[in-house]
Structure 1
Amino acid sequence: MSNVRAKRVAEQLKKEISDIIQREVKDPRIGFLTVTDVDITGDLQQATVFVTVYGEEEEKQGTLQALEKAKGFIRTEAGRRVQLRKTPEIYFEFDESIERGNRIESLLRDMRERE
């Protein structure tokens, strides 16, 4: 399977999953979240959806639980919209890159202030 095709499918899934979560999933546990990336295997069988959730740790866990519960619906809707022969299995994970970037920026700022 072409790596270019996998990237195109991942980008399309990212757009559609984000739209499905915002417009279709009505679980009140889902807080303010952003789908930041989708990583899909080369054979298009598994997709890891990275999300950023704003709020406390309790809200983040509640959002992840709600996404796991709605995973079947999200997968079905995404498959209908993207029209692949087989819709990839979806896994949700927190995207820690923004928090990590903020922490590094804070540490660098502290170092500059000490100098």
Structure 2
Amino acid sequence: MGKEFGRSQRVASEMQKELASIMLRDVKDSRLGFVTINDVELSKDLAVAKIFVTVLNADNAGKAANVKVLNEISPFIRHELAKRMRLRHISELHFYYDNSFDTGMRVAALLHELEGGKSAAAGADHSEQDD
């Protein structure tokens, strides 16, 4: 029977927790907004980490600017991560914006709009039957 979670998945999970803590407590860059760490994907050899983030209350330019700042300060974040994780080598960090939150909000708005249209149509059908 194989392992349910491979080493890279376990390390990625722990890295996500530590990165969230570092972002909350140690990163004091005024250029950053409210950044959340959504996911961490590690290469099989653990050399490279793709870190997917979302930025709340920011337009597209603000989101891109936040990701740019994170990539600029990644050596500092990597150093802090090295202090906290018991690994011989710490992965190279690459930050990317995660569109899934925006997509989910857009789908929810469309469903709400569709639901509103159905109830309005149902209300019109009932009023025609009363005549």
For the aligned pair, the TM-score class normalised by the smaller chain equals: 0.7 to 0.9
The two structures have a TM-score, normalised by structure 2, of 0.78
- Structure 2: any 5+ residue segments left out of the alignment? 119-131
Aligned pairs (5 A) from 1:77-88: 77-88=80-91
Any idea what the Cα deviations from partners look like across 1:29-64, whole Å, max 9, x if unmatched? 110111111111121111111111012223222222
Task: Indicate the SS of the match to 1:36.
Answer: strand
Structure 1, unaligned runs of 5 or more: none
Greater RCO structure (CA 8 Å; 6+ sep): 1
TM-score scaled by structure 1?
Answer: 0.87
Does the Cα contact within 8 Å between 1:29 and 1:59 map onto a contact in 2?
Answer: no
Radius of gyration: which is bigger?
A: 2
Structure 1 counterpart of 2:35: 33
Do residues 92 (structure 1) and 95 (structure 2) align? yes
Task: Please give the per-residue CA displacement for 1:63-91, whole angstroms capped at 9, x wherever unaligned.
Answer: 22221111011112112211211111111
CA RMSD in angstroms comes to 1.6
Aligned identity (percent) is 36
Equivalent residue number for residue 44 of structure 1: 46
Q: Which residue of 1 aligns with 2:125?
A: none
User: Match of 1:35, SS?
Assistant: strand
